[in-house]
Every structure is written in C-alpha cells, then in structure tokens.
C-alpha cells in the first residue's frame, strides 16, 4: 500500500511540476459602433406668447408701437433651417384692421447665423422671417411686433381684434 501511495504521489508531483504556464497571446475582435441620425426640428413658444397692443388714449394713436417678446420661441434643429411667419386668418371680429398693419422682426442678435428679413407684414400667406439659420440645440429668438402707423386703426369700433400667428421652421 505504501508503494501504491508513493507511486500516486510521484504521479501527482510529475503532473504538477510538468505543467508549464504559458503566456497568453493577444487577440482582438472588431466591434461595430453605429450612430443612426434622423432629421429633427422643433419650435417651442416661450412662456408668454400673447402679444397685446393697447391703445388707451390719444397719444397712443399718434406714434408707432412696438411690443418686444424676449425669448419668444426656441428652435432645435440638427440641420440648417428657415423660419416663416403667417397669420391663420384676418383679424376678428370682422371689419378689423388689415393684417399688414402689424410687422414682425427678429432681433438681429438672435438670428442664429441666418439672414433676417426686416419688417415682415402679417399675412395669411407664409412670409420668410429668417433664411439659412444654422443647426442648433436651442436657438432662442427675440421678436418685435410693430404697428408703425396707427392711422388704419382710426374709425374702427372699440373692440379687441385678434388673430393667431404661426411660426414654421423648415429644414433646408
């Protein structure tokens, strides 16, 4: 039995000492990384989008009026884009002033690399406001609404005349 144990012990020792550790060789495997892009554009109005022109007294009718809307809307686009403006309908109630009495201007400091069109009169036909603005993750636009001459408001009945204005951003 001792002899058998000695043989087993020698066999185990031979296996343990006979096994050599070898260094591993480097291997590599290629990995594909994909970035799948989809054209994306959005326009979001600021916190207080309503524009109010108030004519309370005679002095209001004697000069032009401008309502400035800071951070009026924000555009996010992964490509260059244009912005247009259009009124959805004439001023209501019927018999109100012509839409073109109000002009729209984007503040040049917020043009986002685009070419501005100055003094765009409101119309039910979309009109260019900014052409070729650069792609952006959040271009904020300041907008001025102006009634340069109150003469067309004379002889109109006292009322609140309103329309809805729509801004559209379109990728190029």
| pLDDT value of residue 27 | 85
The predicted structure's pLDDT at residue 19 = 57
pLDDT category at 61 given cuts 50, 70, 90 is very high
Rounded Cα gap, residues 25 and 23, in angstroms: 6
pLDDT at residue 4 in the model? 59
- pLDDT value for 69: 97
Domain ranges of the chain: 47-171
Please give the CATH architecture assigned to the domain spanning 47-171.
Sandwich (2.60)
Token pair for 10:
């020698």
Inform me whether the pLDDT recorded for 82 exceeds 90. yes
Assign 3-class secondary structure to 68-88: EEEEEEEEEECCCEEEEEEEC
12: part of which helix (H) or strand (E)? helix 2-18
Strand 103-106 relative to strand 120-121, pairing: antiparallel
Structure confidence at residue 134 (pLDDT): 96
- For residues 86 and 125, the answer to whether their CB atoms sit within 8 Å is yes
Tens of pLDDT, residues 35-57: 999 999 999 999 999 999 999 99
């Amino acid at each position: 039995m001792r002899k058998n144990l000695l043989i087993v012990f020698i066999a185990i020792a031979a296996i343990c000492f006979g096994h050599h550790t070898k260094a591993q060789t480097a291997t590599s495997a290629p990995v594909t990384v994909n970035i799948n892009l989809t054209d994306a554009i959005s326009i979001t109005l600021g916190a207080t989008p309503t524009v109010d022109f108030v004519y309370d007294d005679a002095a209001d009718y004697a000069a032009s009026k401008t309502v400035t809307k800071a951070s009026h809307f924000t555009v996010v686009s992964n490509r260059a884009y244009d912005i247009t403006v259009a009124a959805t309908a004439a001023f209501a109630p019927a018999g109100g002033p012509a839409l073109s009495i109000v002009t729209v201007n984007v503040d040049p400091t917020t043009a986002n690399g685009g070419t501005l069109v100055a003094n765009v009169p409101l119309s039910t036909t979309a009109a260019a406001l900014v052409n070729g603005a650069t792609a952006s993750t959040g271009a904020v636009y300041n907008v001025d609404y102006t009634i340069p001459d109150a003469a067309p408001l004379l002889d109109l009945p006292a009322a609140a005349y309103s329309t809805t204005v729509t801004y559209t951003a379109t990728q190029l």
